[in-house]
Amino acid sequence: MKYILLALFFSINFAQAGVKINGENIFFASVINEVVRILPSDFLSSVDGDIIVEEFPSSNTESLTDNLCQMSEETKLGFLKQNKIFVNTQLILLAKTNTTLFHCGHGTFLKLLKAVLIHELTHVKDNHEKISLDPEFQRIVGVKKITLNSKKKVINQVLEVSPDPYEFKNLEESLAVNAEYLILDPEYECRKPASAQYLSKRLGIQLKRICKKNYDILLQSSFLEDHYRTKASIDPKRVYQIHYLFASKGESLMSRWGHAMFRLVICAPFRTEISEDCLQDISHHVVLSYRAKISDPSINYASGLTGKYPSQLYLLRYMEVLQEYTKFELRDLISIPLNLSLDQKKDFLNLTIERFWTYQGKYYFLDNNCGTEAVKQLSSVLTDSESALIRSTTPLRIYKDIINSKNNFTAYGIDTLTRQELKDKGYLVESMHKNFYESFQFLKKFIPSFSNISFSEFLKNLSAEKRFIEYQNLFDDLERYDVNEQKMIILKIHHLERLLAAKYLQTIPSKVMKFFNKDSTLKHQVLTISQELKVLSLAPWEVIKSVYGVPNEIEFKNQFQYFLTKMKSTLETEAEIHMNTLLSILDKNYFAKELNELNHMLKIKKITSSVIISRNEEFITRSTYEK
């Protein structure tokens, strides 16, 4: 009789389902009652029948510690069997007797008990509504492909910044874990803003709007001296447009389909109005680029095909990306503004900061690459019918889907524009191939031997030693030309040599790696360089550590300043050590050709700089007169 009365007293009704406790634990029943009160009244409206909650004893091997932060991941706190929820008896006891505040997880045993109940009730809801299979949810949490299997493992595995690594077990657990934190942690909606927005809408849970989102990010770079040295804000209030940014195909295997990116048109701080004038503020624009994180000295294509490289979102200066593709890789760059509403733009940027600080998936060159990652991010802010219009996974075909006027993703008629019209409207930045070619053609008038080779042969086959001899002969006879011609000759040589040096240095790692396993000393030296340059492979969450998710303003400010101070004191020393190690590697007999090439490039740089310095005053005088 006592059991029946308690069961009736502690039966809490949702719209269509009741939650009932099977037992006589008044404390436990009160906690259940409290959890039910904070959930929406229609949370279980799709569930028929009652949901029974009861205790289960923990085994001797799974005894709970009284330290929340030392709890084993293997400890079973609760589970669901059909519509019956089982909760660990020892957890209930600790929730009642241990009020210690811990700096991990949910903070207290009482809050953890509530989290277990929310977790299992979310499973009940998901079993009936299949929320974890929603494509939008899958795109946010990170999957290789949209699946119909809720037990599918999530590809994101960044344990360091997860509120609970159990969220990565599969889609079902990801949903349940994140529901816990959305309901119990007022910081969650700022720590994981995209997830919070989706879950709020899908679970009917109102956001608390107590915390303040931090849109500050760290700008990454291929250059050691610039990597993580500058912060930028991608606050939606300062972003005028979001563009699909497409780099045309390159020479390497992994870039033959082009590269898919996004460009954030961020307004300069001095602007009081967010308008098309912000398109001119290119030094403030930021590029989103999903890339394979490759820490090895050279690319292993087998690893790229089998998902051995992490897939990570990089945030880069637009100016650096512009130079990377148009100048050094000689590829066109096309920037197409997307038709996004203010809410869509905000959702896109919320996902961007969540992805930047918490995501690292698996990169597959063929089916989880820059194109597929970009489509998943864009689709997360589109309707299902809109997402279906982007049917491609390669950057070029994605570009064609986006500019298709029928799809309404961008300004009408872009798909009918000629190349020149794209250029005139600022959508296309051509590769600098033409500029370099014109520099080469100009030098042909002063270096006769250049007339015997094509521009392609000049780039690929003419050694630095032969170029040095030709330049030296030309400089010895420079007086025969007028000041303007002298100036143009030096500028054109400098222009071409920067390209040649950049392209040649990119080939060194692959040449070194041919001997990597044949020479133990070489192997040690290469690994030493990799260690010295470890800052280039640091993930954002390794630079600034948060409680979980996106760091708040205080975490960002304090740790970023510490990082800058630390790196400033070590940068010069590490760069010098790195250079000495590199020179010792190239000093080996089997790199004699490479070392000779680099030495002559340095000689070219030296004589060019010498001529510039010696004639600088004359150039300045002439330039001033011409002005």
Residues 6+ apart with CB under 8 A from 285: 263, 264, 265, 266, 317, 318, 319
- The torsion defined by the Cα of 564, 566, 569 and 570, in degrees rounded to 10, comes to -110
- The torsion defined by the Cα of 198, 199, 200 and 203, in degrees rounded to 10, comes to 130
pLDDT at 591: 82
pLDDT at 612: 81
Q: Is 78 helix (H, G, I), strand (E, B) or coil?
A: strand
pLDDT at 618: 59
pLDDT at 354: 98
Is the confidence at residue 615, as pLDDT, over 90?
no
Interval 148-152 mean pLDDT:
92
Helix (H) or strand (E) holding 292, with range, is: strand 286-292
Of 447, 362, 460, 7, the C-alpha closest to 158 is: 362
Interval 585-589 mean pLDDT:
75
**Mutual orientation of helices 89-97 and 109-129 as an angle, nearest 10°?**
140
Rounded mean pLDDT of the chain?
A: 88
Is the confidence at residue 59, as pLDDT, over 80?
no
pLDDT at 623: 45
pLDDT at 610: 85
Is the confidence at residue 7, as pLDDT, over 80?
no
In angstroms and rounded to an integer, the radius of gyration of the C-alpha atoms of the chain is 30
Between 516 and 23, residue with greater pLDDT: 23
pLDDT at 93: 95
Contact predicate 270/282, CB 8 Å: no
pLDDT at 513: 74
**Tens-digit pLDDT profile for residues 188-217:** 999 999 999 999 999 999 999 999 999 999
Interval 154-167 mean pLDDT:
94
Contact predicate 154/144, CB 8 Å: no
**Tens-digit pLDDT profile for residues 422-469:** 999 999 999 999 999 999 999 999 999 999 999 999 999 999 999 999
Q: Got the DSSP string for 216-253?
A: EEEEB-SSTTTTT-EEEE--GGGEEEEEEEEEPP-SSG
Contact predicate 562/378, CB 8 Å: no
Confidence class of residue 11 from pLDDT cuts 50, 70 and 90?
low
Tokens 């330039």 belong to 623
pLDDT at 510: 73
Q: Is 47 helix (H, G, I), strand (E, B) or coil?
A: coil
| Alpha carbon distance 445, 66 (integer Å) | 83
| Alpha carbon distance 438, 309 (integer Å) | 39
The pTM score is: 0.89
